[in-house]
Amino acid sequence: MKESGKNSEFSIEETNKIRISLGLEPLKIEKKTSAPLTTEKEKVPNGDASNDIKDTINQLKKKRESRPVGKSIAEQLLENGEDEEDDISNWVSKSREKEMKKNEEKKKNFRSSLNKKKDDHYSQKNLKGLKVGNDLKNFEEDSETILTLQDTNVLDEDSEDVLVNINIAERERREKQIQDSKKQSKYDKFDEYGNNKYSLLNQDNEDDEKKKSGFSLGDNGVIESNESLRDQAKKNLDYLASYDMDSTTSSSILSSFYTQEEMEQFKTRAQNKKSSSSSGVEKKKKRIRKKNTADDILQSLDATTSSDLGSRKTRITEKERKEQENNFKREENYQKALDKASEISKLTYSADIFEEAEDEDFYKTLSTSKKAPISNKNIVDIVNKKKQQQQQQQQQEEEDGTNNLEEITINPTTEFVRSLNPEGIISNYKSDITTSKIDIDEEMEETEENQQNKKHDNNDDDNSDSDQDDESNSNEENNDKYKTITSITEEPLVASSMAATLKLLAQKGDLQPQLPSGTNTKKRGINYDDIESTIIEHKDEFGRVLSRKEAFVKMSQIFHGKKSGKNKLEKRKKEYEEELKRMKMDSSDTPLGMVKSFQSFQEKTSSPYLVLSSSNNNNNEANINNNLIFLNNLYTNNANSNNSKSNNNNNNNNNNNNNKGKKK
């Protein structure tokens, strides 16, 4: 077993012993057979490769053999021409010959081409069958138009030559665009049996139409059209001219009245049936039930058969009659409206009378009052009477009620407090009411009462005492007492000092009593009425007393059912925690409790010192681990391992603060 410090290495047998003791299998010992990977790559399939190689080898060989060994290409070429004598002169002659030949050939070609040109004279006849892309109608008569060959796709195999005039083509295109933009649908709604070509689906298919425009040139390049314009014009003229007044045609002069025949259109099926069934000869049959027969209608319509001969004077056209009727109606309505209005107006006018009638009482009183004399005396008497009444009331009050002529202020808080049970735990209420027991010795009691009263009502005016005394039985004793109380206390000289002025003011009661703790206390309870006895303490969720503002906020939140937002709440929590911390703070220690922790450390290590160092090694992690181990050993109760380890680790670097932070 090797050991160098802590570096231990066990041999195989030792490890096996350990393994068996642990219950593990013994070590598996393998022979190290290093399997090199290189042998695999060399396994090339020999069969195919070798054949190819052989072939190439053979080819190369052949090439070598074909070439004469040791000779360059130039030499080889030269070998061919060794038969001739003088190279240059031969070459010159040869080249001349070649040139001659070429020239002859050229000439031949030229002649032949010339001949061909004569034959290929391009004439009007050659234009036979050429197509022209524009419509014949677009061409003007007796004017020349230049046609050019229309562009075709290179890849179109079956394209024929089409001649086109650019201007006309443009015009045609423009017209087509306009036509299309008008969006005239060729769909005929009413054509039931119409061409399927013009159905809605096929409206936009224009392929069929494209091919139709144009014409083709005939023999000698002359246009052949089925009908020339002139012929067409002629035809039109003939047609117009052929109109004959005398000739009887199916069409008749239109009249504004239906003819009898046309009236038959309006016959219903039922009528026809009836007429046809009853009498085959007569077409029209009078229905008994129906009043207006066709004849009647006819008669009424036809001007010639009407009875009205039409004199102007007596003629009252229907229009006029209608107008008259309307006017009459209008006037009637107008009258009605007028009547209505007058009635309503009468009502309104008479309302005044009604009002007056209702207010009869008023007017009566008015009149009576007018009649009645206005005497000052009466009013004065009334007022005096009232005054007297008031005075009496006051006197009564004075007799019954309080001793003080002071203003009696009633606070809701004081009333509430008064209503509370004075013997209860909560109340601060000090009862100023003296319970007077009436004994036999009235004097004694009264004196006692007086004394008590005077003691309590120290700040009252002297007058109150005097009144009270007047009512009491014995005056002398009271006077004595009275005298003592009315003795004026010495006023301190204000000029001497500040304290004196304060004293004076306190005596007078002008100074407000100061709280003993001073302005530091925001968090004492709320004194709603500036009276000591009515301090209400509102508490928040932590139990702290709320200031006035905070209490208001809390109450309003409850009232409206709204809470502060998340941030606010967290803030408050933090504040509370900090406050707690602050409270926990020890005056004799740092906020983190350094002294305490150091003391505990000292106890455990029983060493008076603490090693502080920080290392800038890369082993910071290791250091931290060291410290962790150290702490672990500190706080756990592994005595044996601790001793050994702690000795070790004490010598290592320690950063106590770091540990504390991490551990906690």
Partner 1 sequence: MIEVTCNDRLGSKVRVKVNGDDTIGDLKKVLSAQIGIKAEKIRLQKSNIIYKDHITLDDYEIHDGDGLELYYN
Q: How far apart are CA 636 and CA 629, in angstroms?
A: 10
Residue among 606, 590, 607 nearest 660 (CA)? 590
Instruction: Write the CB contacts of 644 (distance below 8 Å, at least 6 apart in sequence).
Output: none
Selected from 185, 486, 615, 625, the binder of partner 1 by CB under 8 A is 625
Q: Which residues pair with 164 in a beta bridge?
A: 148
What minimum distance in Å lies between the beta carbon of 614 and partner 1? 17
Q: How far apart are CA 643 and CA 645, in angstroms?
A: 5
Q: Which residue type sits at 346? A: K
Instruction: Write the CB contacts of 586 (distance below 8 Å, at least 6 apart in sequence).
Output: 593
Binding of partner 1 by 8 (CB under 8 A): yes
Q: What does the angle CA 149 – CA 154 – CA 160 come to, to the nearest 5 degrees?
A: 45
What minimum distance in Å lies between the beta carbon of 621 and partner 1? 9
β-pairing verdict for 535-536 and 148-149: unpaired
What minimum distance in Å lies between the beta carbon of 38 and partner 1? 21
Q: How far apart are CA 601 and CA 109, in angstroms?
A: 124
Binding to partner 1 (CB under 8 A) within 632-651 occurs at 632, 641, 648
What minimum distance in Å lies between the beta carbon of 2 and partner 1? 9
**Helix H or strand E encompassing 271:** helix 269-278
Residue 3, helix vs strand vs coil: strand
Binding of partner 1 by 28 (CB under 8 A): yes
Binding of partner 1 by 626 (CB under 8 A): yes
DSSP 8-state secondary structure symbol assigned to residue 491: P
Q: How far apart are CA 28 and CA 7, in angstroms?
A: 24
- Choice between 95 and 620, CB closer to partner 1: 620
Euclidean distance between the first and the last CA atom of the chain, given in angstroms as a whole number: 41
What minimum distance in Å lies between the beta carbon of 23 and partner 1? 9
Place of tokens 């027969």: 293
Binding of partner 1 by 12 (CB under 8 A): yes
Place of tokens 């399939």: 45
What minimum distance in Å lies between the beta carbon of 28 and partner 1? 5
Residue 517, helix vs strand vs coil: coil
- Taking residues 449 to 488 in sequence order and writing x for each that binds partner 1 by CB under 8 A, - otherwise, the string is ----------------------------------------
Selected from 20, 22, 189, 194, the binder of partner 1 by CB under 8 A is 22
β-pairing verdict for 162-164 and 131-132: parallel
Binding of partner 1 by 123 (CB under 8 A): no
What minimum distance in Å lies between the beta carbon of 643 and partner 1? 13
Binding of partner 1 by 30 (CB under 8 A): yes
What minimum distance in Å lies between the beta carbon of 662 and partner 1? 15
From 9-17, 55-63, 96-104, 208-216, span contacting partner 1 (CB under 8 A): 9-17
Selected from 553, 629, 631, 634, the binder of partner 1 by CB under 8 A is 629
- Choice between 27 and 347, CB closer to partner 1: 27
What minimum distance in Å lies between the beta carbon of 39 and partner 1? 23
Torsional class of 547: left (φ above 0), alpha (ψ -120 to 50), beta (otherwise): beta
- Choice between 13 and 231, CB closer to partner 1: 13
Place of tokens 């936009």: 204
With contacts defined by CB under 8 A, how many residues of the chain interact with partner 1?
27
Selected from 431, 602, 619, 658, the binder of partner 1 by CB under 8 A is 619
Q: Which two tokens stand for residue 7?
A: 């570096």
Binding of partner 1 by 7 (CB under 8 A): yes
Packed helices 639-650 and 620-635: angle between N→C axes, nearest 10 degrees: 140
Q: How far apart are CA 390 and CA 385, in angstroms?
A: 9
Binding of partner 1 by 31 (CB under 8 A): no
- Taking residues 494 to 523 in sequence order and writing x for each that binds partner 1 by CB under 8 A, - otherwise, the string is ------------------------------
Torsional class of 70: left (φ above 0), alpha (ψ -120 to 50), beta (otherwise): left
Binding of partner 1 by 10 (CB under 8 A): yes
- Choice between 165 and 626, CB closer to partner 1: 626
What minimum distance in Å lies between the beta carbon of 36 and partner 1? 18
Binding of partner 1 by 25 (CB under 8 A): yes
Q: Are 131 and 216 in contact (CB under 8 A)?
A: yes
- Choice between 19 and 364, CB closer to partner 1: 19
Which residues contribute to the site for partner 1 (CB under 8 A)?
5-10, 12, 15, 18-19, 21-22, 24-25, 27-30, 619, 622, 625-626, 629, 632, 641, 648, 652
